């Protein structure tokens, strides 16, 4: 389990916060709106109303203990920059920041943001799945019920055949393809042996996909 602080809980930030929490992570949501905090409080570990322009407030929340900070503030560029500066100064290992424009993104990079996200190109849910585990390479929600996951082979899968792993019966998922180096094997049969650094493209019910993600994050 990882710990995340999400600063700014509009549509984008709340989507990230809720998804990270649903994947079994500790999530602190911060927003200046009391209404937003009330709305999200039941779907994250902790939710706090705070002025992100107040450096002292952010420091008092103990943010330095979190693994990742996501600065998802919307239209207030000044607040976005200030929050990014504060969490970076506090020593959080990884800082992800939302940018409105290329120029805004360049400023955030200059002050230490490790990754810049442009919401027009990156869906909040998709970003959250990638953050939750280093094994998760991509996530596509086909519908509320079914999703596709691209995942690096777990260590426990290595040197075992798909038949031995019994992924359909164990997790309720099916392997659509296996990427190995520059090659890709579509619809692999049960005799295929999973190797280290293989990438599996799997499909399944979203609930079952989340079980695999939680396993990958352990």
Delimit the domains of the chain by residue range.
3-117, 122-217
Q: Which residue has the tokens 């920041």?
A: 97
Confidence bin at 135 (pLDDT 50/70/90): confident
Nearest-CA neighbor of 82 among 30, 118, 44?
30
Element (H, E) at 186: strand 183-186
Q: 10 Å Cβ neighbour count for 95?
A: 23
Query: For 170-179, what is the mean pLDDT?
Result: 91
Q: What is the mean pLDDT of residues 159-175?
A: 93
Q: How does the average pLDDT of the chain come out, rounded?
A: 88
Calpha distance 182→116 (Å, rounded): 28
Q: Which CATH architecture best describes the domain 122-217?
A: 2-Layer Sandwich (3.30)
Strand (E) or helix (H) holding 94: strand 94-98
More confident call, 111 vs 124: 111
Q: Which of 139-148, 160-169, 185-194 has the lowest mean pLDDT?
A: 139-148
45 contacts 14 by C-beta, under 8 angstroms: no
Q: To which CATH superfamily is domain 3-117 assigned?
A: NAD(P)-binding Rossmann-like Domain (3.40.50.720)
Query: Encoding tokens for residue 174?
Result: 């099916």
What are residue 136's DSSP bridge partners?
151
CA distance 88 to 82: 10
Q: Structure tokens of 195?
A: 């190797």
Residue found under tokens 């190995």: 180
What is the average pLDDT across 20-45? Answer: 94
* Structure confidence at residue 120 as a pLDDT band (50, 70, 90): low
Mean pLDDT, range 137-161, rounded to an integer: 85
Task: State the pLDDT confidence band at 121, using cuts at 50, 70 and 90.
Answer: low
The tokens 């690096």 sit on which residue? 152
Distance CA 148, CA 203 (A): 4
Q: What is the pLDDT of residues 52-95, one digit of tens each?
A: 888 888 888 988 889 999 999 977 899 999 999 999 998 998 99
Please give the Cα distance from 176 to 47 (Å, whole number): 39
Report whether pLDDT(141) > 90. no
Structure tokens at 209: 């996909």
pLDDT band (50, 70, 90) for residue 182: confident
More confident residue, 54 or 132: 54
Query: Cβ of 120: how many Cβ atoms within 10 Å?
Result: 8
Nearest Cα neighbor of 8 from 116, 88, 98, 101 is: 98
**CA–CA distance, 46 with 20 (Å, rounded to integer):** 13
* Residue 91 phi, psi (nearest 5): 90, 15
The percentage of the chain sitting over the pLDDT mark of 90, rounded to a whole number, equals 52
Q: For 187-199, write each residue's pLDDT tens digit.
A: 889 999 999 999 9
């Amino acid at each position: 389990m990882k710990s995340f602080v999400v600063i700014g809980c509009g549509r984008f930030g709340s989507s990230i916060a809720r998804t990270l929490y649903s994947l079994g992570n500790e999530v602190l949501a911060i927003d200046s709106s009391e209404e937003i905090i009330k709305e999200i409080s039941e779907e994250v570990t902790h939710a706090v109303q705070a002025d992100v322009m107040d450096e002292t407030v952010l420091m008092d929340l103990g943010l330095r203990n979190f693994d990742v900070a996501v600065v998802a503030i919307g239209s207030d560029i000044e607040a976005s920059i200030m929050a990014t500066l504060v969490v970076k100064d506090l020593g959080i290992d990884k800082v992800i920041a939302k940018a409105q424009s290329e120029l805004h993104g360049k400023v955030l990079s200059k002050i230490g943001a490790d990754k810049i996200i442009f919401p027009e190109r990156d869906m909040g849910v998709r970003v959250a799945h990638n953050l939750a585990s280093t094994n998760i390479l991509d996530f596509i929600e086909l519908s509320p019920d079914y999703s596709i996951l691209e995942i690096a082979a777990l260590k426990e899968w290595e040197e075992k055949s798909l038949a031995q792993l019994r992924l359909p019966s164990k997790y309720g998922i099916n392997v659509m393809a296996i990427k190995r180096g520059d090659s890709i094997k579509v619809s692999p049969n049960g005799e295929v042996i999973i190797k280290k650094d293989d990438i599996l493209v799997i499909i399944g019910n979203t609930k079952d996909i989340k079980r695999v993600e939680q396993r990958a994050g352990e």
